[in-house]
Amino acid sequence: MRAGHCIRSLHAEQNAILQAAMIGVALEGSMIYVTCQPCNTCAKMIINAGIVRVVYEGDYPDPFSIELFREAGTEVYTYDQGRLLEVVTDKAHVD
């Protein structure tokens, strides 16, 4: 642990993308379902892997990742009690 964070692990999104690459599964045009909103590092990997839709249930305090998805044209939804709700982004976070 360093600064309260485990430095020996990957985020689930990163691990999923790497595992797909390892076994030769192309992700272009795919969807990813995750428990929480991806952080901005995972967002960059998701975008560059060609994943076109992200669905998550819980929030994560990283509005920049949502802005990255907006700029990339990635569809982002939250899962709420059986319904998909499109995430509306705010351009104010872009520097």
Catalytic residue set: 13
> Does the protein bind Zn ion through residue 72 (CB under 5 A)?
no
Q: Exactly one of 16, 34, 42, 45 binds Zn ion (CB under 5 A); which one?
A: 42
Closest separation in Å from C-beta 49 to Zn ion: 13
Q: Exactly one of 10, 11, 63, 79 binds Zn ion (CB under 5 A); which one?
A: 11
Tell me the C-alpha distance between 74 and 31, whole Å: 10
> Does the protein bind Zn ion through residue 36 (CB under 5 A)?
no
Q: What phi, psi does 54 have (nearest 5°)?
A: -120, 130
CA 40 to mean position of chain CA atoms: 8
CA 61 to mean position of chain CA atoms: 13
